[in-house]
Structure 1
Amino acid sequence: MRRIAFIITCLLSQLVFAQEITILDTDSREPVINVVVHNQDKSRIVLSDFDGKCDLSVFDRNERLEFVHLSYQYKKSTKAQILRRGSRVYLTLSPEQLDEVVMSVSKWEQQKKDIPQKVATIDARSVAFTNPQTAADLLQQSGQVFVQKSQLGGGSPMIRGFATNRLLLSVDGVRMNNAIFRGGNIQNVISIDPFSVRNTEVIFGPGSVIYGSDAIGGVMNFFTKPAQFSQKDSMSISGNSVYRFASANEEHTIHADFNFGKKKWAFLGSVSYSDFGDLRMGSHGPDSYLRNNFVLRRNDVDFLVPNANPKKQIPTGYEQINLMQKIRHKPNNNWNYDLSLYYSETSDFARYDRLIRPNTDGTGLRSAEWFYGPQKWFMSNVQITKKGRGKFYDGVKLTTAYQHFEESRNERAFQDPIRFTAREKVDALSVNLDFENKKIGNLRLYYGGEYVFNKVHSNGYQENISSGLIASAASRYPDGATWQTIAGYINSEFKSRPNFTYMAGLRYSHVWIDAVFDRTYFPFPFSAARLNNGALTGSLGFSWFPRADFQVTANGSTGFRAPNIDDIGKVFDSEPGSVVVPNPNLEPEYAYNVELGVHKNLKDKLVFNGAVFYTYLVDALVRRDFDFNGETEILYNGELSNVQAIQNAAKAYVYGFEFGLDAFLTQNLSLKSNLTLTKGIEEDDSGIDSAARHAAPTFGDLHLIWKDQRLKADLFLNYNGEIDFDDLALSERNKPFLYTEDDNGDPFSPSWYTLNFRSQYQISNALSTTLSLENITNQRYRPYSSGIASAGTNLILSVDYSF
């Protein structure tokens, strides 16, 4: 009898245990605490505990349950469906929440509502839905960052009139900018795998207090997915695999990641491979964008051949692989050890804008070849974090990283057998020590120090592709040059009242450059460049809630950019007929920025965001005509070229307005919109004004979104305004082949729009699929300053399986 009773007791306990479920955050997979679970008449209610667990045994098997939490979107399901799906429920954060936590502003968790600067966040859920091909597309599809492309394998963000080396890229808290980040368009952002991104935070405006040099226009911080510990005593195994196809460039992408977690150890591995074909443009737009002919080499002779399909941009395709490995160890609640390894490599890819340049008489093409060699990036990152009350801190974080960058440029003129190649490698070491102190009443302090060291390796050679003979040639940069910086900062957050928060910070940075020039190929009037510069930057702002549903923010900040090796030591052809030469006599450029923002929430049904900003840049490092040993023209790669150099020769004013709207029309239907207007003016030493090159045209989007538990659909419009000839930067006027002509025969960037649709359907907890149709009306357009026309009508299909 006792045995029977024991068996019955075990069966009942198993039944009860089997009805226990876990409620998790969709993005972080962390437990969600205090979720209210009730039936439709609320006669029975349970609450999730600290581990996100709750017992559903009080509910009938087919009873309809509702999951309610202040910070998460409302969800419904039956008890039977939940048990069939592995006893897990995933909740998604509500988009109208002001209590969102961000990391980028202080390197520690802060509530977004307390931050006076504008910060845009892009979470993993949004990335999975928008399904970007590259990290550059990830930024562009946010609707708040403008992206320029010179080729398919690229993407150069523009934020508030600044771009390239005036914006800072960061991956898991480590700066990606190196000593040869240039003022021209760069494509290093594509080295970041969008499949590995947990969330992205974009700081608008200077971020120099925390990030130092280069953070003038903004900071883009990519946080990758962490290895996940097991929530139970046994090992947990999870993973994800994706296949994606896009018709406009015949893309085939595969991705897989696997996570092995125990209580104190976790391992995450990720791999992505993409094969992109030549990109096809749309049918309705300027004929000047068509690729009517291209260069083909036969029997050691270059031929200009007609393109059978002028809408196909030949050559633009390339391949890319991304790898990531993470190891985490958490011996107790206070210590955390993270080792992260990242690797990215592309195949060769053509710089398309150089391949469509006409020759001097306009009868053919200037270049037969112009391509980047494999772009490689490796980073190892060790991070040690300690939480708990120390004498001077509540949290301390040590981050050490080593990065290796490789790139090359290869160009050959039409009917010329000589191919010129410049290869660059950069080794970068960095150490960051960051502290958090939140014990001083309503004051929280964040402080720390940073050291960064870069060494540049550069060489050049020329090859006769007919005979195979190789000879040395001038390098792009002084080989062996070094760039290093050491800095200390302090940032504070003071909550003077529950509805009023101040933030203020200071940073001092010191930068050294040491470069020795090889005068074999050019008779430089100097043999070395040694720069020794310091910079003090600061910020002061507040966040104020006059009412619970209305926020006002104001912020003043300064930013700086110290000259790097690209500024002082580069030799390259900047545009047809011009060559840039070194200039060792440079000083840092400084930016002074003010911004005012408002946020209004109308009963969680309508949310407005707005910001106005003004930035003044002095001692701007710009490319201007230069005198080289008394000569204004020199012979470079066989061509007599106008001499230019980077100089502290200008100041600039950039101002604008940013607007955002979220309207929650029903429980399932919402409307979302963004609009950005930017105006930029450069003034050189002679007092001549011109439009700033990196001030993007007016751009915006409008989304109508339907969402229920299984289906999410988005019908949206993207829009870019016109930049007429009078508002076109002088440097852009010198590249008319990138633009179309107005009625006067002058180049300008026309406005354009696209109508698009994307959808995501959750077939089961494990399986989902997305279907998108971009540029439905098949517009032919080329974003401002871009060298490649964007995709025509593009069908994108993907399948995602998780376990």
Structure 2
Amino acid sequence: MYRSSLFFFFIFVMVARSQQIAVLDADTGDAISNVAIYNSDKSKVALTDFDGFFDIAIFSKNERITIKHISYELLKTSKSQILKQGRKAFLVMRPEQLDEVVMSVSKWEQQKKDIPNKIATITARDIAFTAPQTSADLLQNTGKVFVQKSQLSGGSPMIRGFSTNRLVLSVDGVRMNNAIFRGGNLQNVISIDPFTIKNTEIIFGPGSVIYGSDAIGGVMNFYTQVPELSENDSLNVYGGANYRFSSASLENTLNAKVGLGKKKWASLTSFTFNSFQDLVMGSHGPDSYLRNSFVRTVNGEDLLVANDKPRKQVSTGYDQINFMQKVRFRPNAKWDVRSGIFYSETTEYPRYDRLIRPTGDGTGLRSAVWFYGPQKWFMGNVQLNKKGNGKFYDGLKITSAYQRFEESRNNRDFQDVNLNSTKEKVDAFNFNIDLEDKKMGDFRLYYGGEYIFNRVHSEAQNRNVRTDVITDAPTRYPDGSSWESLAGYVNSEYRTKPNFTLMSGLRYSHVWIDAVFDQTFYTFPFDDTNLSTGALTGSLGFSWFPKADLQVTFNGSTGFRAPNIDDVGKIFDSEPGAVVVPNPNLEPEYAYNVELGIQKNLGDKLVLKGATYYTYLVDALVRRDFSFNGNTELIYQGELSNVQAIQNAAKAYVYGFEFGMDAFLSDNWSLSSNLTITEGIEEEADGTDTPARHAAPTFGDFHLIWKNQKFRANVFLNYNGELAFNDLAVSEISKDFMYAKDRNGNPYSPSWYTLNCRSQYTIGANLVASVNLENITNQLYRTYSSGIAAPGRNLILGISYNF
């Protein structure tokens, strides 16, 4: 009798448990409490508990069910459909909500409405809909970040007039910036696989209190997907596959992932392969962008041949692979251990902007060959997370990581027999400890420390392409040089009133550089450099709601960038007729920033956003004319070149305005728009002013969106303002071959627009298809400072299957 009662009780528990449905955030996977679930006449009503569960047993099999929460979009479904989806219902955050949680400002979860910084969030749902080619395109699709490209495999973000080594790039809290991040354009962001990203957060303006050196213009944080634990003792198996095709580059992309989860441990594996052919540009625009000729080597001889398809940008294609393996172990409610392995590798890829440089007389092309060797990135990281009950903290994170970066440059002039090659490797070690203390009521404290060590390996050679004889050559950087940093920070959040939150922070960083210069090829006036310098940065700001639907934010902050190995020790061909030489006498550059933001919510129907900022940069590290052993010119790679060096030789100021609008016309129709206006000036040591190189032209977008539960469509316009000749930086004027010509024959960057359409249809619970058509009117254009023309009319097809 006892056993039979126990058996029936066990069956009852299992049946009852099988009727429990979890309501989760579609982007984060987090449980949502206090969600209302009801049928069409509201005669049956349920509410999710603290863990996001409700009992679906009260509803019949095919009964229509509405799931509603004030912060999320309405979901209409049925009991049978939810059961097919593994007893889970996913809700999508409403765009107008101010309750969004972000992690980038303190490395801990905070309400976005309490933060004085401007932050843009890109969710996994956004990424799936926009179907970006690379993570650089993912950033560009926000309409808030400007992206420059020197080749198809490029993607160098510009934020508030700053770029490259004045922006911080991080993955799962580990910074990718290394000791050879340069002031020129960078392609490292393409190493991040968009198929593995859970969400991305972009901080606009200095973030040096938390992120240290380089965080002057902003911070881009990529958070990758986390392995899912099982809710019971059975093995949770999930995964999916994605395919993407684009016509402008005959792209073929395939991604596959599989996850395994038990109650205490989980694993997630992802692999992506990309193949891109030569990119085809549009047809309506400047003829000077056409690829009329290119160099072909036949039987060891370089020939200039006509391109019978001048819109085809010969020598732009490449392939890439990405791999991610993550493991998670959560032995109890307090500890959560996460580890990850990331690997990315490209094939050799041509640097297109160098391949289209004309000779001095304009009759031919300067380079026969100019390509980057495979770009490789490896990262292994481990993060220990602990919650609660510490004497000095409520949350603890310890993160350690090792990264390996590899890149190379290979170039040969037209009809020259020598192929010049340099190869760099960087070993980077990161260690972070971050703590959160929220025991003090309305006061929260975030504090921690960071140690970084980089070792740079550099080698070079010249190879005679006819005899195959290899000779040594001067390296790009001092081989074996090191860069390291030690820092501590404290950041606080104090809610003085329910509608007023104050945030402040302070950080001290110390940086050391050790480099020994090889005297074999050049007689340097110094044998080594031993730089030791510190920087103190801070921030103070507030978020204020004078009314429930009106938010005002203000933030004052400082940022800095310490010199790195690229600044103090580089020798390379920066541009035709110029060579950069080492300069060990450098100091950090500092930025002082103020910004004001306003956001108004009009009845959850219209949200207006605006921000203005001003950033002043002192002791700016810039490339300027220099002397080497008393000489202003020297022979480099067989050419007499003007000597330049990185120097603390300028000041700069950047200011701008950013506007946004979201209009919710009905449950199906909505509008959104962004506009960014940036102005930047560099003040030279002699008092003259010149336009800042990375101040992007005015740019923006406008979207008309229609969606229901199965179909989503977005017709949108991207536009870009003109940069006249007088508004181009001096360094850009010297690259006039990349620009159109105005009526006076001077280079300038024309304005342009594109009309585009995206659509996505949910075929079934596990299958989603997308059809996008970009640049419908086939415009021929180059984004500012880019060496490659953008895609012409481009059909993008995608299919995604998840189980």
| Range of TM-score over shorter length | over 0.9
* One-letter amino acid of the counterpart of residue 476, structure 1: R
1:324: how far off?
0.7
What is the DSSP-based 3-state SS (H/G/I as helix, E as strand, rest coil) of the residue aligned with 1:280?
coil
Aligned to 1:764: 764
1:245: how far off?
0.5
The more displaced of 482-491 and 34-43 is: 34-43
The more displaced of 7-16 and 589-598 is: 7-16
Provide the rounded CA distance (Å) in 2 between the counterparts of 1:174 and 1:81. 40
Provide the rounded CA distance (Å) in 1 between the counterparts of 2:85 and 2:322. 31
* Pair 1:505-2:505 in alignment: yes
Task: Identify if the C-alpha distance between structure 1 residues 576 and 19 changes in structure 2 by more than 3 Å, giving closer, same or farther.
Answer: same
1:466: how far off?
1.2
* One-letter amino acid of the counterpart of residue 46, structure 2: V
Aligned to 1:263: 263
Aligned to 1:56: 56
Provide the rounded CA distance (Å) in 1 between the counterparts of 2:692 and 2:709. 46
What is the DSSP-based 3-state SS (H/G/I as helix, E as strand, rest coil) of the residue aligned with 1:97?
coil
Provide the rounded CA distance (Å) in 1 between the counterparts of 2:443 and 2:703. 40
Provide the rounded CA distance (Å) in 1 between the counterparts of 2:540 and 2:801. 46
Aligned to 1:778: 778
* One-letter amino acid of the counterpart of residue 308, structure 1: D
Aligned to 1:615: 615
Task: Identify if the C-alpha distance between structure 1 residues 434 and 13 changes in structure 2 by more than 3 Å, giving closer, same or farther.
Answer: closer
Aligned to 2:218: 218
Residue deviations 1:535-592 (CA, integer Å, cap 9, x gap): 0000000000001100000000000000000001000111111111111111100000
Aligned to 2:647: 647
* One-letter amino acid of the counterpart of residue 374, structure 1: P
Aligned to 1:356: 356
Provide the rounded CA distance (Å) in 2 between the counterparts of 1:359 and 1:672. 46
* One-letter amino acid of the counterpart of residue 61, structure 2: R
Residue deviations 1:150-192 (CA, integer Å, cap 9, x gap): 0011100000000010001011111110000000001001110
Aligned to 2:289: 289
What is the DSSP-based 3-state SS (H/G/I as helix, E as strand, rest coil) of the residue aligned with 2:142?
coil
1:104: how far off?
0.7
Aligned to 1:744: 744
* One-letter amino acid of the counterpart of residue 488, structure 2: G
Aligned to 1:177: 177
* Pair 1:471-2:471 in alignment: yes
Aligned to 1:102: 102
Aligned to 1:402: 402
Provide the rounded CA distance (Å) in 2 between the counterparts of 1:21 and 1:399. 35
Provide the rounded CA distance (Å) in 2 between the counterparts of 1:775 and 1:48. 45
| Within-5 A mapping of 1:214-613 | 214-613=214-613
Structure 2: stretches of 5+ with no match in the other structure: none
The more displaced of 35-44 and 190-199 is: 35-44
| Within-5 A mapping of 1:9-48 | 19-48=19-48
The more displaced of 89-98 and 317-326 is: 89-98
Provide the rounded CA distance (Å) in 2 between the counterparts of 1:342 and 1:80. 39
What is the DSSP-based 3-state SS (H/G/I as helix, E as strand, rest coil) of the residue aligned with 2:82?
helix
1:33: how far off?
2.2
1:134: how far off?
0.6
1:764: how far off?
1.0
1:399: how far off?
0.6
1:88: how far off?
2.7
1:87: how far off?
3.4
What is the DSSP-based 3-state SS (H/G/I as helix, E as strand, rest coil) of the residue aligned with 2:128?
helix
Provide the rounded CA distance (Å) in 2 between the counterparts of 1:6 and 1:527. 83
Provide the rounded CA distance (Å) in 1 between the counterparts of 2:321 and 2:303. 33
Provide the rounded CA distance (Å) in 2 between the counterparts of 1:802 and 1:724. 49
Instruction: Give identity over the alignment, percent.
Output: 65
| Within-5 A mapping of 1:790-801 | 790-801=790-801
Task: Identify if the C-alpha distance between structure 1 residues 508 and 306 changes in structure 2 by more than 3 Å, giving closer, same or farther.
Answer: same
Provide the rounded CA distance (Å) in 2 between the counterparts of 1:391 and 1:343. 39
Aligned to 2:671: 671
What is the DSSP-based 3-state SS (H/G/I as helix, E as strand, rest coil) of the residue aligned with 2:483?
strand
Provide the rounded CA distance (Å) in 1 between the counterparts of 2:18 and 2:564. 61
Provide the rounded CA distance (Å) in 2 between the counterparts of 1:63 and 1:256. 35
| Within-5 A mapping of 1:682-701 | 682-701=682-701
Residue deviations 1:77-119 (CA, integer Å, cap 9, x gap): 2333333444332211111111111111001111111100101
Provide the rounded CA distance (Å) in 1 between the counterparts of 2:618 and 2:2. 88
Provide the rounded CA distance (Å) in 2 between the counterparts of 1:796 and 1:466. 43
* One-letter amino acid of the counterpart of residue 696, structure 1: A
Structure 1: stretches of 5+ with no match in the other structure: none
Aligned to 1:67: 67
Task: Identify if the C-alpha distance between structure 1 residues 45 and 419 changes in structure 2 by more than 3 Å, giving closer, same or farther.
Answer: same
Task: Identify if the C-alpha distance between structure 1 residues 40 and 183 changes in structure 2 by more than 3 Å, giving closer, same or farther.
Answer: same
The more displaced of 50-59 and 29-38 is: 50-59
Aligned to 2:704: 704
* One-letter amino acid of the counterpart of residue 358, structure 2: P
* One-letter amino acid of the counterpart of residue 21, structure 1: I
Provide the rounded CA distance (Å) in 1 between the counterparts of 2:479 and 2:115. 43
1:396: how far off?
1.1
1:308: how far off?
1.4
1:234: how far off?
1.2
Provide the rounded CA distance (Å) in 1 between the counterparts of 2:631 and 2:2. 105
Provide the rounded CA distance (Å) in 1 between the counterparts of 2:399 and 2:100. 25
* One-letter amino acid of the counterpart of residue 789, structure 1: A
The more displaced of 232-241 and 470-479 is: 232-241
Provide the rounded CA distance (Å) in 2 between the counterparts of 1:85 and 1:223. 25
Residue deviations 1:392-419 (CA, integer Å, cap 9, x gap): 1111111111110000000000001100
What is the DSSP-based 3-state SS (H/G/I as helix, E as strand, rest coil) of the residue aligned with 1:451?
strand
Task: Identify if the C-alpha distance between structure 1 residues 207 and 4 changes in structure 2 by more than 3 Å, giving closer, same or farther.
Answer: closer
| Within-5 A mapping of 1:153-192 | 153-192=153-192
Provide the rounded CA distance (Å) in 1 between the counterparts of 2:554 and 2:463. 57
1:698: how far off?
0.2
1:54: how far off?
2.2
Residue deviations 1:111-145 (CA, integer Å, cap 9, x gap): 11110010111011101100001110000001100
Provide the rounded CA distance (Å) in 1 between the counterparts of 2:100 and 2:211. 22
Task: Identify if the C-alpha distance between structure 1 residues 12 and 452 changes in structure 2 by more than 3 Å, giving closer, same or farther.
Answer: closer
* One-letter amino acid of the counterpart of residue 698, structure 1: T
1:10: how far off?
9.4
**How many residues are paired up?**
803
Aligned to 2:721: 721
What is the DSSP-based 3-state SS (H/G/I as helix, E as strand, rest coil) of the residue aligned with 1:312?
coil
1:57: how far off?
2.6
Provide the rounded CA distance (Å) in 2 between the counterparts of 1:695 and 1:188. 20
* One-letter amino acid of the counterpart of residue 721, structure 1: G
* One-letter amino acid of the counterpart of residue 389, structure 1: N
What is the DSSP-based 3-state SS (H/G/I as helix, E as strand, rest coil) of the residue aligned with 2:57?
coil
Provide the rounded CA distance (Å) in 2 between the counterparts of 1:103 and 1:738. 40
Provide the rounded CA distance (Å) in 1 between the counterparts of 2:287 and 2:519. 46
Aligned to 1:630: 630
What is the DSSP-based 3-state SS (H/G/I as helix, E as strand, rest coil) of the residue aligned with 2:678?
strand
Provide the rounded CA distance (Å) in 2 between the counterparts of 1:59 and 1:440. 44
Provide the rounded CA distance (Å) in 2 between the counterparts of 1:5 and 1:544. 60
TM-score by length of 2: 0.98
1:21: how far off?
3.0
Provide the rounded CA distance (Å) in 2 between the counterparts of 1:251 and 1:698. 30
Provide the rounded CA distance (Å) in 1 between the counterparts of 2:638 and 2:576. 13
What is the DSSP-based 3-state SS (H/G/I as helix, E as strand, rest coil) of the residue aligned with 1:283?
coil
What is the DSSP-based 3-state SS (H/G/I as helix, E as strand, rest coil) of the residue aligned with 1:558?
strand
